[in-house]
Amino acid sequence: MCGIKISLFVLVLLTYILKGSASMEATNSVLEAEALALREALIQLKRLNYRNVTFCGDSISLYGHLEMNVSQQAKAESPQEIQGYVQDIITLAHDSYKFKYINRKANNLADTLARQARINNSPMVVSWIN
């Protein structure tokens, strides 16, 4: 099992308001796991009716590609192993979501949530942060 992570924070206040995590079946690569986690996070936030959300992640291959494709309306080819996920993400993101690459140190909370979900073999859990 591997952990997926969802962290959402309000940029204006720099305060975390929602967190989520889950475990999932192993994937063929870390890049595929990142793409699957992002797609699942996007589905959950759409279900909760969140709009104008910026997803930040430390995978330059995924977030750098999405940032270019969604923000700049460019149509660059995604890595072969995640093409299907990227197409789903771009379709789901349609004008309501943005993507930004951040360095690994800035993504510490999300990495911690993913590690805990993997260790605990947790189902999808999304909760408010007090």
Give the integer Cα–Cα distance in Å for 73 and 38: 19
Residue 11 has pLDDT above 50, yes or no: no
With bands split at pLDDT 50, 70 and 90, how would you rate the model's confidence at 40?
A: confident
Burial class (CB in 10 A: 0-12, 13-18, 19+), 87: exposed
Average pLDDT over residues 18-22: 63
Give the integer Cα–Cα distance in Å for 25 and 31: 14
Kindly state the tokens that stand for 62.
Answer: 């995924």
- Please state which CATH class domain 2-128 belongs to: alpha beta
Residue range 43-53, pLDDT digits in tens: 888 888 888 88
Sketch the domain layout of the chain as residue ranges: 2-128
Pick 107 or 14 by higher pLDDT.
Answer: 107
With bands split at pLDDT 50, 70 and 90, how would you rate the model's confidence at 12?
A: very low
Burial class (CB in 10 A: 0-12, 13-18, 19+), 58: middle
With bands split at pLDDT 50, 70 and 90, how would you rate the model's confidence at 4?
A: low
Residue 18 has pLDDT above 70, yes or no: no
Whole-model pTM: value is 0.70
Give the integer Cα–Cα distance in Å for 75 and 90: 11
- The pLDDT assigned to 107 comes to 65
Kindly state the tokens that stand for 59.
Answer: 């995978």
- The pLDDT assigned to 15 comes to 63
Residue range 70-124, pLDDT digits in tens: 766 666 677 888 889 998 999 998 878 888 888 877 666 656 655 665 566 655 5
The distance from CA 57 to its chain's CA centroid, rounded to whole angstroms, is: 6
